[in-house]
Amino acid sequence: MMKKIALVLLVGAAIFTGCSSSKTVTRVDSDSQIDLSGRWNDTDSRLVAEEMVRDGLSRVWVTDFVEENGKKPTVIVGIIRNKTSEHISTETFTNDIEREFINSGKVRVVQGGEEREELRKERADQQEFASAATTKRWGMERGADFILQGTVSSVTDSNGKQSLLFYQTDLELTHLETNEKVWIGSKKIKKVIN
């Protein structure tokens, strides 16, 4: 009988504990730096994009292009490969890079990847369903002068409870007609987790 009472009390305590636990959610500034695990996060993506685009746009290729062509260069952001063992949203990183390019005012950015295909489908749809006065024409896309491609790689080392995470982002900007590389940038991040 005592065992049954103890079992009932134990189950009741477990149910009470389970029902009473709750999570606390606090909204914070989206620009605040918060590292919970030490792994690549939104702050790394934003800071690396800002620093690398700033470096790339400070190089001579921009002024050379403007002097030779009398216009701002047009850039397309190509594939950024994730070569780490983690899930890293390269789409977020690509968006951060595109935002920095556009906000700099020094280059034009054209759409690429799946989004470009969606634009073309919409244009095709307009040929049939939009009025002639508002239909957007084929063959009027702005061709990119340069493509940005790159990789994010990492190395992990650990000893006991201490871990070291090392990330390296390498980006290259290549002229689409000549295949000439006009800028190569690299950004390294090292984190020690105790």
Q: Dump pLDDT digits (tens) for 175-189.
A: 999 999 999 999 999
Query: What is the rounded average pLDDT of the residues 125-139?
Result: 97
Question: Looking at residue 110, what DSSP letter applies?
Answer: -
pTM of the model: 0.82
Query: What is the rounded average pLDDT of the residues 104-111?
Result: 97
Averaged confidence pLDDT in the chain: 90
Which of 4-18, 29-43, 163-177 is most confident? 163-177
Query: What is the rounded average pLDDT of the residues 24-48?
Result: 85
In the structure encoding, which two tokens stand for residue 63, read together?
């002024």
Which pLDDT score, from 0 to 100, does residue 32 have? 79
Which pLDDT score, from 0 to 100, does residue 14 have? 56
Q: What are the DSSP E strand ranges found in the chain?
A: 74-82, 108-109, 146-159, 162-175, 181-193
Looking at residue 38, its amino acid is G
Q: Is the dihedral angle over the CA atoms 136, 73, 91, 32 positive or is it negative?
A: negative
**Is 138 exposed, middle or buried (CB count within 10 Å of its CB: 0-12, 13-18, 19+)?**
exposed
Q: Which residues contact 85 (CB under 8 A, 6 or more apart)?
A: 154, 156
Q: Label residue 12 by pLDDT band (50, 70, 90).
A: low
Task: In whole angstroms, give the CA distance from residue 156 to residue 164.
Answer: 6
Task: In whole angstroms, give the CA distance from residue 42 to residue 30.
Answer: 9
